[in-house]
Amino acid sequence: MDKPFYQFTVLNEARRFDFVSVGKEEISKTITFSKTEEPDIYTLMLANVRPNGSLDIRTVSNNGDMKKILVTVYKAIEIFLTDEPDAIVIFSGSSDARTRLYQISISKELSMLNDRFKVYGVTKDGFELFRANQRYCAFVISLKNTNIV
C-alpha cells in the first residue's frame, strides 16, 4: 500500500507497534497483537497510550488523520504476519461505529488487500470471505497461503 502512514517503533518481537498521531494534537498510539488460547490466533488492538502508560481503547480522538492511522495498522499487520506467517489476526472496533469504519476502509482497499491477504468478515453465523456492503461484527485477516477453515 503506497499511502502515507506513521513511522512506528516495533516492540516485543513485532507484537507492539508504537507511533504518534499528528493532527489537531499529538496523540501516542499503539497497535498490539495478543495471542489467544487458540494456536496461531491473535487479536489486534488499536489504542491511545495514556501518559501513565496504560492503554485506552474507548476515547474517540477525532484527530483528523484516520486514513493515515488505518494505513499504519495495515503496515503493522503486514510486518506481524511476515514475522508470524501462520498467524490469523482477528479484530473489531471498540464500538459499532468503529467496526463500521473499519469495514468501510477494508471495502475501499479490498482489491489491494486481496493481493497478499485473505480477509474474512465475521457474522453471527460464522465467517465468510469479506464482501463489500455486508455487515460484519469483526474481521479476520491472514496471509493468502494460510488455511483458516
Question: What confidence tens digit (pLDDT) does each residue in 4-29 have?
Answer: 999 999 999 889 999 999 999 999 99
* C-beta of residue 55 within 8 angstroms of C-beta of residue 46: no
* C-beta of residue 125 within 8 angstroms of C-beta of residue 117: no
Query: How many CA atoms lie within 13 Å of 128's alpha carbon, on the beta-carbon side?
Result: 10
pTM across the whole model:
0.92
Sign of CA dihedral 135, 140, 141, 142: negative
Contacts of 10 (CB under 8 A, 6+ apart): 16, 17, 79
pLDDT tens digits, residue range 104-141? 999 998 888 888 999 999 999 999 999 998 999 999 99
